[in-house]
Amino acid sequence: MNTDYKSLIKKSLKAIDNSYAPYSKFKVGAAILTAGNKIFSGSNIECASYSLTICAERVAAAKAISEGEINFKVLAISTNKNKIVYPCGACLQFLTEFSPDLKIILVKTEKEFEVHNLKDFLPKNFILKNFILKEIRNE
């Protein structure tokens, strides 16, 4: 197996341990590989005011972005349910802002996983950057 995938999968599984999910008990771990070949992991963080919950994928991405790594190559997602989970629409939109060509590994176990592309899940995306750049260039 691709060594990048192997270590990402392991880190996403490990991140499940730090999930804070007292309400749903649905624990998610994510690990993201940046263009600079750094890996950042994240877990879901729930809140008593439920809508403030943050998904594991966005936690991992935010950690990377705030460390100056804004281009991503691969994201792995694991859960405590021994099942694959598809990323939510909010996470897809957030990730497409930075890396529309991202690969996404959906992990069931260390050896059972699927590889997809963000574009498979969000084929048409909303990217404001293109419009803003046009304004700056006066096009």
Q: Which residues bind to ligand THU, rule: CB under 6 A? A: 21, 24, 26, 28, 44, 46, 53, 55-57, 85, 87-88, 91
CB closer to ligand THU, 25 vs 134: 25
Closest distance between ligand THU and the C-beta of residue 106, in Å?
10
Q: What is the dihedral of CA 9, 12, 14, 19, to 10 degrees?
A: -160
Closest distance between ligand THU and the C-beta of residue 28, in Å?
3
CB closer to ligand THU, 39 vs 76: 76
- State how far the Cα of 2 lies from the Cα of 48, in Å rounded to an integer: 40
Whether the CB-CB separation of 76 and 30 falls below 8 Å is answered with yes
Closest distance between ligand THU and the C-beta of residue 128, in Å?
23
- State how far the Cα of 50 lies from the Cα of 52, in Å rounded to an integer: 5
**Residues belonging to the active site:** 57
CB closer to ligand THU, 34 vs 79: 79
Closest CA to 61 of 89, 85, 97: 97
